[in-house]
Amino acid sequence: MSRKMRIFYLALFLFLPVSAFAYLDPGTGSLLLYAVFGLFATALSAIRNAWYGLRGKLVLFSDVSVSMRMPDVIFHSEGGKYWPVFKPVVQALEMEGIACAYVTPDASDPGLAFKAGGFNAFRPGGEMATIAWMNAARAAMVVSTTPHLDIYMLKRSRGVRKYVHLFHAPTDLCFYEKYAFDWYDCLFTVGTFQERSVRYLETRRGTARKELLPTGCTYYDYMVEEFARQERQATSGTTVLYAPAWGVRSSALTRGAEIIDVLARDGNQVIFRPHPQFYISHKEIIGYLEKRFTGNPLVEIDRNRTGINSMLRSDLMITDLSGVLFDYALLFGKPILLANSEADTGGQEGEELPRPLWDIEASKALSFALIDGELSSLPEQVEAALAFSDKNEERIREFRDRTFYNFGKSGAAAAQNLASLLRGIS
């Protein structure tokens, strides 16, 4: 055996262990595995965001680079269902002579086809591409209906001077997830009840005071116009709109079929229109309800984009704690029966706000009665509520006028507030 081979075998004998007394416990193994997957996911997310950022800078619309030629005001929309919130403001800005841009991820957003002086609407891409574009935007102001700025995906861009939140519903903060508006510079408030909640949370958390500008709910400007365009249809008998919420506040999860059954058996025409999110979060239940009532001439399921036609045709609505309750009351003044007034505020702003919560109290104030216990008395409750219709409409109108800013004229108020903010920035 050569000298080199002897040295090799000696080294192998000295340094190669016969037995490895090593142990990797399951917890450590899982931790290492999660770490590897976490690093991989982080790298993948960084690459994807970099790509979307580059795509946002390069995308062209009508041969104009949207990343380079932006007006002072950019509206950020999450999709077409929010166009009714922005449209009244866009129209009022045209009257003020202020140019604006509208950015949406939704290819079917009606805002993309809207024409107005100084108005430019475009779609950088899908949801992630649009968020990436917004995170690199350059403008004096960004106006958005999206909560949780700088907490979730929508981040503050260094090229934007001021972020403004525009509320899409006339409700308080209590059912938003925590820290929904903490990092906005300015809120266009719907009423004094929102302002009290914002100031309370700022004091409690020690966060900076935001500008609170009285505005109102611009969505109702749009709805009032839509209502005026609708043709009134003569109906026979009583038509009840059952419009449950989604999630844990939904009466449809526990007794939706029973409510529809009782109403139909009493000879009422029933329109079932759940919250749009219901079709996403409760697919099995909506499938069951549709299958059960398909073919019943007294039951209609409304899947239209807006519920204004169903609200117009109905005589009374049954709902839960939801935004549609306010729509029905404030726009039509018709009686409402509240099917569920219970609400869990765990993880939401309402967990920190003082009791009673405004949304719950306002919902009860706008409703004729609360459906409680057995549903056998529901037909009698419907009859009693309808008999009270005239006084109910007057009561709701008084509540509306003393509670909300600029009802039906909030778009003009929002445009004036934006003009004032722009003067302050310049």
The pLDDT score that the predictor gives to residue 47 is 60
Q: Are residues 192 and 307 in the same domain?
A: no
* Model confidence pLDDT, tens digit, residues 175-199: 999 999 999 999 999 999 999 999 9
In 66-195, DSSP assigns E strands to: 73-76, 100-103, 119-122, 138-144, 159-166, 186-189
Query: Does residue 32 sit within a domain?
Result: no
**Are 299 and 266 spatial neighbours (Cβ–Cβ below 8 Å)?**
no
Is 105 strand, coil or helix? coil
**Position 251 in a domain:** yes
Rounded distance, CA 241 to CA 37, Å? 49
The reply to whether 155 and 68 lie within a common domain is yes
Phi and psi for 65 in degrees, rounded to 5?
-75, 110
Entry pTM: 0.81
Residue 65 has pLDDT above 60, yes or no: no
Instruction: Read off the tokens for 56.
Output: 């946002």
Q: How, if at all, do strands 211-214 and 60-61 pair?
A: unpaired
35, part of any domain:
no
- Percent of the chain whose predicted confidence (pLDDT) is above 90: 66
pLDDT for 275 equals: 85
Q: pLDDT tens digit string along 370-418?
A: 887 778 899 999 999 999 888 888 899 999 999 999 999 999 999 999 9
Domain co-membership, 106 together with 156: yes
Residue 19 domain flag: no
Q: Is residue 193 part of a domain?
A: yes
Q: In whole angstroms, what is the distance from residue 112 CA to residue 103 CA?
A: 9
Residue 28 lies in a domain: no
Answer whether 243's CB lies under 8 Å from 317's CB: yes
Q: Is residue 48 part of a domain?
A: no
**pLDDT for 2-33, tens place per residue?**
555 555 555 545 555 555 444 445 555 555 55
Q: Are residues 244 and 332 in the same domain?
A: yes
Q: Can the peptide bond before residue 356 be classed as cis, meaning omega within 30 degrees of 0?
A: yes
Domain co-membership, 198 together with 315: no
CB neighbour list of residue 29: distance below 8 Å, 6 or more residues apart? none
Count structural domains, the chain.
Answer: 2
Segment 280-332, tens digit of pLDDT: 889 999 999 999 999 999 999 998 877 888 999 999 999 998 889 999 999 99
**CATH code assigned at 289:** 3.40.50.2000
Same domain for 211 and 256?
no
Same domain assignment for residues 351 and 280: yes
175 and 301 share one domain: no
Clarify whether residues 319 and 185 are in a common domain: no
Q: Highest-confidence range of 50-59, 198-207, 233-242, by mean pLDDT?
A: 198-207
- 172 and 118 in a single domain? The answer is yes
Q: Which range, 59-63, 196-200, 230-234, has the best average confidence (pLDDT)?
A: 196-200
- Region 135-146: mean pLDDT is 96
Same domain for 333 and 241, yes or no, is: yes
Cα–Cα distances in Å, from 114 out to 88, 103, 308? 12, 12, 21
Strand, helix or coil for residue 75: strand
- Which domain does 197 fall in, by range? 60-217+409-425
- Whether 183 and 272 map to the same domain: the answer is no
- 33 within some domain: no
pLDDT in tens, 151-167: 999 999 999 999 999 99
